[in-house]
Every structure is written in structure tokens, then in C-alpha cells.
Amino acid sequence: MKRKIIPYALVFILALLIPVQVYAIDFDINKVRIDAQLNADGTADVTERFMYEFDDDFNGITRSLIEKKGTAIENFSASENGKSLRVEMEDGLYKIYRSGEDGDTIEIELNYDIANAVEKFEDGAQFYWAFFDESNENEYGDMTIAVTPPLPAENTEALGYEEAFGTDRVTDDGAVIFELGYVPYGENANVRAIFEPDLFPGVAQLSGTVRDDLAKDRVNLENEAAAFAQNQQTAKNVGIPAIMILGALLLAGIFFSWMRTYKRKRQIRNYPYEFFVPKESMSIPALLYFTNSVFLSPNAISAAILELMRKGNIRQLTEDHFELIHRKTDHVHEATLIELLFDRIGDGQEFTLQQVEEFTKNELNHAGYNDAIAEWNKGVSLEVKEKNYYEKHPDLRGAAGILGAVFIGLAIYTGIYQLFPWMAASITLALLAFGFAIGYTPITFEGHEIRHHWRKLKAAMQNLPAEQWERLTLDEKQRAYAYLLGSDPTTAERKVAAFTSAQTTADDSSFVMNPIFMTAIFVSAGSTTAASASSGTAGSGAGVGGGGGGSGAF
């Protein structure tokens, strides 16, 4: 059976790779029964029964109906247990109002007429219709479509297309039942039934015949189904072993890469540890980025200010007041922070924490503040990258990327021939391969050492005796406390009295008097500006026989 599997497979792949739309109402359509009673004048009286099961509160259901050229949908109505329901219609979309709660199961009956539904030819009168098409966004759990002639018929022929192929059954009285069962969303299905032309005296006869056309369609569809079955077997013979072999290679490669990294970490973790402040390898913000989190919190800004004080770029005059000493910096991100604090917020030479608070309360400054912080983050990231603490492995990552592309091809190939479990396996392996290709940048041995030593320091400082702290040099105290403030503000707040006693250097630059107050200001600034930054139909009828539509809820 020929089906539009390639787009279906691609949509399935993209649904896993990108965020999907979150629908307002969560529901299932468990059962659908459609009865089309044909009349002698060529009209059709259609009755549809939909069983919905809701997992959310709801206001009603929807039904889109697309008219086939030359026909018309008339007298649409809806009811439940014989009680009429309010209906609104716009552009072929009917909204049926029937509110309910999470967990409700309802059965809605829809009734409408199709004018000019039957076409009469010399050798037969046909009803050729699509009750849904690829515009339908919801699957049907169990669908049955019945087409009944005005009177019992003796020479009925029927054929289903796409989702309806092979589902037709002619009853003893000449009616046709299409038992589609489960129907995925986004699929077409056309039902076609041909009866004796004498059953429709009120329909004008057209020239030509129709039964030969149906017979040709049946032969073509059966040939396509046979070819499909043969190709499906080939896909099983080729695709499944390829997925298994390449999947095993991918998993083995990932496992050995992980083991290599794990052994390196374990070797470093087994080092004997005695409290010390590691030598200066990069700035404190870069250390926080590398050892704590790539998402620098507002606490890291306070740590960066302490770093600039330690280096002599700025001096604290009071708890709230800072003065610029010089602009010569070691890193671009330090210059970016100085420009934000002293030039955009302050007067070029000094700034206060009160000015930071007032600046960020003004909504007109939010975009500029956020841009400057983003630029600062970017500079910190650049410093870390320049240290080359991440291994590249271009050959290994390139091989993983090629495997990912192969798995995408296998997913499409197996999806075309409806080997859906293997299609899902291919998609999973493709995501795994692409993830490895993009993200496999293991940290070097030196990088692991730096991470290990600073994380150990943070843990040790939670219960560090005062005498150990006092044995450190002023530079070591400033670097250790700035790192603790940026990575563990709770411990930093608890230790503030012991770790920030007044100690003045030769150039009269003192350690910050109250870093917790400063941190609170920048946390508030970050929250205020972030809150500002975050504020912020029927189908065309794709059925072969014409018509179409779909179902939903609201």
C-alpha cells in the first residue's frame, strides 16, 4: 500500500530534534463511526459519532469539513444523547460547544447533508469522498465508515484509497463498510462506492463509464501494495542488520570514550588532599564558568568585582561606593564589566550600588544592561576557550556525525516501509550520534586537575578552621573568597565575618566590606531585567476524490 511515509518520517524526526507545539487541550478520539445514507436524488445524509476522552478541562470539539468541487455541506447540527448543542462555523470549521472537565469521556453526534454527493454515469453511480485528509491534526483510535444506497443493491463495487485501501467490505444488501481501524494524523483516505445507476433516478446522468476506472485503480493499488511488500522485505533484510551493526559500533565508541574520561577523573580523585588555594590559572569568572556552571549567575558579577579589586583596577571607598583606579585589564570581559559599571551606570570614574539599583529599575535600560551582561559572559567563555582545556578529537566527532547522517537515512528508509520500531531506533541512534559529534569535547588532564582542586577548596571552606584561613596570603584569601562567593553564596554569607576582616594592602585597597549586600543588588538587578526580557484552520482538501477535513477540541 502506497502511503506518504517520507513526509511522515521527516516530521517524526523533526519532532524529536526541535521543540514541538504544546496544544491547549489534551485528548484522544477513541472511536469514530461515520454513516453516509445516500438518497435517490443524489444527496447524502451523514451521521458521525465521535467518542472523545479528555485529559484537560475543555469547552467543546471541532470538526472541519472541506467540500468537494460541485458539492455543498448543508444543515450541520450537533447533539449529545439527543440534546442539541450550540454550533458556530467559520471557513469550514465547526465549533461544537460542550464544556467538561479533565477525565470526561463524551460521545458527540454530528449530522449534515452533502448536496450532489452522487455522480451518475452510464454503468454506475458513485459516491467518492474524503471525510478527512492530511490537514487533520489528530489521530483516530478506531474508525468505521459505512455507505448505504437508497435501496438494497446487487452490483456494488468499492475501493478505499491510501489509509482506506484494503478495508472495504460489501454487505449482503449492497452497502459498503470501510473498517479503517487506527488512523494516524496527517493522512489521507478516500472511500469510493459504485452502485446501480437506476437507484438514483433524481441524478442527471453524465457521459462515460466509471467501473472500468475503479478496476484500473484497484489493479494499480494492488500492484503498488505487492511492490511495497517486496520492498519492505528488502528493507528488513538490509536496513535492520545495518542499524544493528552501526548501532553497536556507535555504542562501543561512546562506551570506550566514556571509560577513558572516567579513568582520568578517577585518577585525579584519588589524589591525597590537603587544603590549599590553587595557583592562578585564569580569572575568577572564568574559573566559575569552567568549574561550576557555564551559566554565570549574578553572584559571579560580585566575584568579578572582587577580582578587579584584587588586581588593583578598582577600589572600594565605602560599602556602597567604588572608584576606578585604572583601565588596563588582562581580559576583554574585565574591560566590558568596567565599562558597564563605571561608564554606563556611574560617572566614568565612580559608581555606587544604589546607582546599579536605580539603573536597572528603569525599563529603558534593561536591553542595554542585558546586552552588556551577555557580552561579559561571552568574554568569560572566550577566556576559557583560549586555555585549551578541552580536547577537540575532530576525526572521532566527524565519524560520529557521518554515522548520524547514515542513521537519518536508515530512519527514512525503514519509515517508508513501515518498520516503525526500527525507524524509532534509527532516530534514537542518530540523536545519540549527533549529540556525541557536537558535545564530545573531553576535558584535558590539566583541566580536570583544576576542576578537582577548586571544587575541593569550595567543599573544604564550608567548615574551614580559622587558623587555616589565617595562614593564607592576602592574595590567596581574596581569590578563594571570590570563588566561594560566585559558586556557593550560602557558605560565603555564613563565612563573611571570618573571611572579610579588614585587611589593607600597600595601595590602601581593602577587601570588600560586605560582599553579600553587593551580591543582593546584582541578584535583584538580574531578576528585574530578566523579567522584562521574558515578557513577551481548516485544510485545503487533499483527498484524491475531493473533500476532506479533520477533528479537534478547544
pLDDT tens-digit series, residues 201-257:
999 999 999 998 898 988 888 888 888 888 888 888 998 999 999 999 999 999 998
Residues 61 and 205 in one domain: yes
Please indicate, yes or no, if residue 84 is contained in any of the structural domains.
Answer: yes
Please indicate, yes or no, if residue 114 is contained in any of the structural domains.
Answer: yes
Please indicate, yes or no, if residue 103 is contained in any of the structural domains.
Answer: yes
Domain limit, last residue, from 209, 234, 260: 209
Residues 59 and 192 in one domain: yes
- Closest listed residue to residue 306, CA positions, set 276, 336, 275, 283: 283
**DSSP 3-state of 184:** coil
Residues 383 and 485 in one domain: yes
Residues 66 and 177 in one domain: yes
| Cell numbers linked to 524 | 535583584
Domain limit, last residue, from 153, 184, 209: 209
Residue 514: per-residue pLDDT: 67
Residue 36: per-residue pLDDT: 93
Residue 496: per-residue pLDDT: 64
Residue 319: per-residue pLDDT: 83
| Cell numbers linked to 550 | 479533520
How far does Cα 76 stand from its chain's mean position?
Answer: 37
Which secondary-structure segment (H or E) carries 516? helix 515-534
Domain limit, last residue, from 209, 240, 260: 209
Please indicate, yes or no, if residue 251 is contained in any of the structural domains.
Answer: no
Contact by Cβ (8 Å): 384, 282: yes
Residue 507: per-residue pLDDT: 42
What does the H/E/C string look like for 101-157? CCCCEEEEEEEEEEECCEEECCCCEEEEEEEECCCCCCCEEEEEEEEECCCCCCCCE
Q: How are strands ordered across the β-sheet holding 350-352?
A: 314-316, 321-324, 350-352
Radius of gyration of the chain (CA): 36
**DSSP 3-state of 268:** helix
Residues 188 and 322 in one domain: no
Number of structural domains in the chain? 2
Q: What's the CA gap between 513 and 450, in Å, rounded?
A: 29
Q: What's the CA gap between 336 and 460, in Å, rounded?
A: 32
Output DSSP code: residue 443: B
Please indicate, yes or no, if residue 421 is contained in any of the structural domains.
Answer: no
Its pTM surpasses 0.75: no
Contact by Cβ (8 Å): 250, 446: no
Please indicate, yes or no, if residue 510 is contained in any of the structural domains.
Answer: yes
Residues 308 and 190 in one domain: no
Distances (CA, A) of 230 to 7, 237, 335, 404: 21, 11, 68, 27
| Cell numbers linked to 452 | 578537582
Residue 545: per-residue pLDDT: 55
Output DSSP code: residue 92: T
Contact by Cβ (8 Å): 63, 551: yes
| Domain boundaries, position 321 | 297-388+465-531
Angle, helix 5-17 to helix 394-416, in steps of 10 degrees: 140
Average pLDDT for runs of 10 along the chain of length 554: 46 47 70 94 93 88 88 92 89 86 90 93 92 85 93 92 89 92 86 93 91 88 83 88 93 90 84 86 93 87 92 90 94 95 94 92 91 94 92 89 93 87 93 91 89 90 84 89 85 66 44 70 83 52 60 76
Residues 166 and 304 in one domain: no
Please indicate, yes or no, if residue 22 is contained in any of the structural domains.
Answer: yes
Residue 518: per-residue pLDDT: 83
Q: What's the CA gap between 105 and 99, in Å, rounded?
A: 11
Please indicate, yes or no, if residue 287 is contained in any of the structural domains.
Answer: no
**DSSP 3-state of 299:** helix
* CATH number, position 136: 2.60.40.1730
Residue 274: per-residue pLDDT: 83
Q: What's the CA gap between 192 and 252, in Å, rounded?
A: 53
